Chains A and B, each alone.
Chain A
Amino acid sequence: MNLKDITYNYLFKATELSEINKFNRDINLDIPVVFAFRSTCSVIAGIDDTISYIEKYSNENSIKIKIVETSCPGLCSFDPVIGVKIPGRTLILLKNLYYYEVFSVFDSILNHFLPDTKLILAQIYDEKYNSWPEVPDFFSLKQLKIQKRNILKPINTYSPISITDYFAKNGFKAFAKVLTKLTPNEVCSIIENSELKGRGGGGFFTGKKWRKALENNNNPKYFICNADESDPGSVAGRMLIETDPFRLIEGMLIGAYAINASKAIIYVRNTYTLAIDRLKKAIEQTKSAGLFGDDIFGSGINLNIEIVTGPVAYVCGEETALISSLEGSRGMPKPKPPYPSDKGFLEKPTVVNNVETIFNIPFIILNGAESFKQTGVKSSYGTKLFTISGKVDYPGVYEIELGTNIADVLTAVCDDESLNSIKAVHIGGPSGGFVHPDKFYEKLVFNDSKNKSNDIWFGAGSFVVLNKSNCIVDVCKYFLDFDVNESCGKCIPCREGTRVLYDILKRISERPVTTSKHETLQRFKGVTQLEEIAVVMQETSLCGLGQNAPNSILTGLKYFRNEFEEHIYEKKCDAGVCRDLKLYSINIENCVGCGLCVKRCPADAIIGSLHSAHFIVQERCIKCGNCFKICKFNAVNII
Chain B
Amino acid sequence: MEEFLKNLPASVSKTELLKILQEFQDKYGYLDNDFIHELSKKIGIQPGKIYGIASFYSQFRFKPRGKYIVNLCSGVACHINSSENLINEFTKLTSLKDGETSADGKITLELVPCLGGCANSPVVKVNDKYYTKVTKTDLLKIIQGLK
User: Interface code A304-347, partner B: CB below 8 Å = 1, 0 otherwise?
Assistant: 00001111111000000000011111110000000000000010
Complex: how many Å from CA A165 to CA B7?
39
Q: Are A314 and B57 in contact (CB under 8 A)?
A: no
User: Interface code A220-234, partner B: CB below 8 Å = 1, 0 otherwise?
Assistant: 000000000011111
A635 CB contacts on chain B under 8 angstroms: none
A-B CB proximity, top 6 nearest:
A76-B119, A389-B118, A311-B57, A44-B117, A311-B59, A389-B77
Q: How many residues of B contact A (CB 8 A)?
A: 36
Q: Give the residues from 229 to 248 in chain A that come closer than 8 angstroms, CB to CB, to chain B.
A: 230-235, 238
Q: Is B17 an interface residue (CB 8 A)?
A: yes
Complex: how many Å from CA A45 to CA B119?
9
Q: Is A475 an interface residue (CB 8 A)?
A: yes
Q: Is B1 an interface residue (CB 8 A)?
A: no
Complex: how many Å from CA A233 to CA B116?
7
User: Interface code A428-460, partner B: CB below 8 Å = 1, 0 otherwise?
Assistant: 010000000000000000000000000000000
Q: Are A328 and B17 in contact (CB under 8 A)?
A: yes
Q: Are B113 and A391 in contact (CB under 8 A)?
A: no
Known: A311-B22, A311-B59, A313-B57. A233 touches B114 (CB 8 A): yes
Q: Are A43 and B119 in contact (CB under 8 A)?
A: no
Q: Is B108 an interface residue (CB 8 A)?
A: no
Q: Give the residues from 86 to 145 in chain B that come closer than 8 angstroms, CB to CB, to chain A.
A: 112-121, 123, 130, 132
Q: Give the residues from 478 to 496 in chain A that come closer than 8 angstroms, CB to CB, to chain B.
A: 478-479, 482, 486, 488
* Nearest neighbor of B19 in chain A, beta-carbon distance: A308
Q: Give the residues from 17 to 38 in chain B that come closer than 8 angstroms, CB to CB, to chain A.
A: 17-19, 21-22
Q: Are B58 and A46 in contact (CB under 8 A)?
A: no
* Nearest neighbor of B73 in chain A, beta-carbon distance: A232
Q: Are A429 and B76 in contact (CB under 8 A)?
A: yes
| B interface residues with partner A (beta carbon < 8 Å) | 13-19, 21-22, 52-53, 56-60, 74-77, 79-81, 112-121, 123, 130, 132
Q: Are A45 and B120 in contact (CB under 8 A)?
A: yes
* Nearest neighbor of B116 in chain A, beta-carbon distance: A235
Q: Are B123 and A233 in contact (CB under 8 A)?
A: no
Q: Are B116 and A40 in contact (CB under 8 A)?
A: yes
Q: Are B15 and A330 in contact (CB under 8 A)?
A: no
Which stretch of A103-111, A128-136, A462-470 is in the interface?
A: A462-470
A396 CB contacts on chain B under 8 angstroms: 119
Known: A233-B118, A389-B119, A478-B76. A44 touches B132 (CB 8 A): yes
Q: Is A379 an interface residue (CB 8 A)?
A: no
Q: Closest Cβ of chain B: how far from A502's Cβ, in Å?
A: 15
The interface residues of chain A, by DSSP majority, are classed as: mixed
Known: A233-B114, A313-B58, A488-B56. A328 touches B119 (CB 8 A): no
Partner of A478, one of B57, B59, B79, B114: B79
17 contacts between A and B (CB under 8 A): A41-B117, A41-B119, A43-B130, A44-B117, A233-B76, A233-B118, A234-B114, A235-B118, A270-B22, A271-B112, A308-B19, A326-B15, A328-B18, A395-B118, A464-B77, A482-B113, A488-B56
Q: Are B117 and A464 in contact (CB under 8 A)?
A: no
Q: Are A475 and B118 in contact (CB under 8 A)?
A: no
Q: Are B56 and A46 in contact (CB under 8 A)?
A: no
Partner of B57, one of A232, A238, A312, A327: A312
Q: Closest Cβ of chain A: how far from B60's Cβ, in Å?
A: 6
* Nearest neighbor of A394 in chain B, beta-carbon distance: B119
Partner of B52, one of A330, A387, A479: A330
Q: Give the residues from 265 to 319 in chain A that come closer than 8 angstroms, CB to CB, to chain B.
A: 270-271, 308-314
Among the interface residues B115, B116, B132, which one has the most CB atoms of the partner chain A within 10 A?
B116
Q: Are A325 and B18 in contact (CB under 8 A)?
A: yes
Q: Is A390 an interface residue (CB 8 A)?
A: yes
Partner of B56, one of A309, A331, A466: A331
* Nearest neighbor of B21 in chain A, beta-carbon distance: A311
Q: Are A328 and B16 in contact (CB under 8 A)?
A: yes
Q: Are A328 and B15 in contact (CB under 8 A)?
A: yes
* Nearest neighbor of B16 in chain A, beta-carbon distance: A328
A77 CB contacts on chain B under 8 angstroms: 119
Partner of B80, one of A313, A326, A475, A482: A475
A309 CB contacts on chain B under 8 angstroms: 22
A234 CB contacts on chain B under 8 angstroms: 114
Q: Is A79 an interface residue (CB 8 A)?
A: yes
Q: Are A232 and B18 in contact (CB under 8 A)?
A: no
Q: Closest Cβ of chain A: how far from B133's Cβ, in Å?
A: 10
Extra pairs beyond A313-B58, A464-B76 (14, CB < 8 Å): A45-B117, A46-B132, A76-B120, A79-B120, A231-B114, A232-B76, A271-B112, A330-B52, A330-B53, A389-B76, A389-B121, A390-B76, A390-B80, A466-B80
* Nearest neighbor of B133 in chain A, beta-carbon distance: A45
* Nearest neighbor of A392 in chain B, beta-carbon distance: B119
Q: Are A232 and B113 in contact (CB under 8 A)?
A: yes
Complex: how many Å from CA A504 to CA B59?
30
Q: Closest Cβ of chain B: how far from A619's Cβ, in Å?
A: 21
Q: Give the residues from 332 to 383 in chain A that come closer than 8 angstroms, CB to CB, to chain B.
A: 346
B16 CB contacts on chain A under 8 angstroms: 328
B56 CB contacts on chain A under 8 angstroms: 313, 330-331, 488
B119 CB contacts on chain A under 8 angstroms: 41, 45, 76-77, 79, 389, 395-396
Among the interface residues A233, A312, A329, A395, which one has the most CB atoms of the partner chain B within 10 A?
A233
Complex: how many Å from CA A437 to CA B58?
37
A76 CB contacts on chain B under 8 angstroms: 117-120
Complex: how many Å from CA A391 to CA B120?
11
Q: Are A232 and B52 in contact (CB under 8 A)?
A: no
